[in-house]
Structure 1
């Protein structure tokens, strides 16, 4: 799980990695015979029994630096990724973060450019609302309307959803499933499991080679198998 790629000198939420760090991390994967792919490609490969050397890479929020900084590095290292965007904040910024710098978000053209480059586009909701605290109309709008807007924007209905803040409960899972998403990503879904409650591993600026190795080992030890996959 990545977010922004750029200057991380002012990064109170630890959501940013520098382009240099991202490149080292991608190189670390490739040296081990691994390749980053979108979550949709990872799940499809898993269904065929061919996912052993693949790693799903996700980028949350849809910052403009995904296109300017991350995408060239993904191409250089022959990796794919899923970009979770906010169609209700096109061309805006990360107003939901009270601390830290304002980071610009992709416009509609930027999202279409990423999609044309082979990046999977998924929904991160409309406006980055904690769905576990949202009332039912807001929950349904954030989930279903965001899918409809992205379908109109890209010409393809997104298969993937990413819970804002990584928080998820059974009600949010039901709404995402009802809206037609094939899968959804959280961070630590607790007792929830299945394709609509996929756990992810946060990767940050401090993750050097040995930390990546340790995180990988601990992640495999801590997570229960995802039922239904």
Structure 2
């Protein structure tokens, strides 16, 4: 990622703060994690700042949120502002509460409105793309994939009033074909999952993150900051990636994509 920092950087992946699913982190736990970052000398930057490859603080960390749930505005943003921390929110544009004729997909909980997205951006939070309908991008035909990527980016840029150059893959799924289309759609960098730390010599369109879940203890959070504690996740990810490539190949042979 350009002149990236010498040490690998943890990119934390959150979803909901205060929701009820297995990825939803309690507000109290989130506040404790932010305090841990502050007390241990971490400086949060946005994903775009890291991907740009310019100078970064001595101990950078990136805090990201997927999907665009309403509780980011209600619970996460006040805590981030309290600590003076920056973050990146990857928004699924078809899930926006007042998406109107552009509504697409089925959000798993209450989502942000367009006015809240604009307010978040005005607070120094980076807004990135997360697809339009939260589709599994690696299973889409080329034409549908292009529409999914371009519509998301154009809607965000129109509503936020600034260029959008970063995104995260829904479910973390991508492929070489998807990454080519992501670049063609105008994105400079994209987040996967992978549960590993980001290094300067990695693929800018498949930057790894580490998952923070509902059950992540403070000790587990510290291990995640060092890219540890994800052996089971790594094994499942590799096996499932092979299955998905095979599934897409079969669908292409049958002419269903």
TM-score range, shorter chain: 0.7 to 0.9
Alignment equivalent of 2:151, drawn from 145, 153, 156: 145
* 1:137-176 equivalences in 2 (<5 Å): 137-176=143-182
Tell me what 2:10 maps to: none
CA offsets 1:156-177 (integer angstroms, 9 cap, x no match): 1211111000111101100111
Between Structure 1 and Structure 2, how many residues are aligned? 212
* 1:20-35 equivalences in 2 (<5 Å): 20-35=28-43
CA offsets 1:39-71 (integer angstroms, 9 cap, x no match): 112334x432x3431101100000011000000
Secondary structure of the corresponding residue to residue 187 of structure 1: strand
Higher relative contact order (CA 8 A, sep 6+): 2
Secondary structure of the corresponding residue to residue 185 of structure 1: strand
- C-alpha distance in structure 2 between counterparts of 1:187 and 1:203, whole Å: 11
CA offsets 1:68-88 (integer angstroms, 9 cap, x no match): 000000011111110011122
TM-score by length of 1: 0.85
Contact conserved, 1:85 with 1:123, CA < 8 A, in 2? yes
Secondary structure of the corresponding residue to residue 17 of structure 1: coil
User: Measured at CA, do residues 147 and 94 of structure 1 come closer, stay the same or move farther in structure 2, by a change above 3 Å?
Assistant: closer
Secondary structure of the corresponding residue to residue 132 of structure 2: coil
1:3 aligns with 2:20: no
1:188 aligns with 2:194: yes
Task: Point out where structure 1 has 5 or more consecutive residues left out of the alignment.
Answer: 224-229
CA RMSD of aligned residues (A): 2.5
Tell me what 1:203 maps to: 212
User: Measured at CA, do residues 221 and 89 of structure 1 come closer, stay the same or move farther in structure 2, by a change above 3 Å?
Assistant: closer
TM-score by length of 2: 0.76
Alpha-carbon offset, residue 28 of structure 1: 0.7
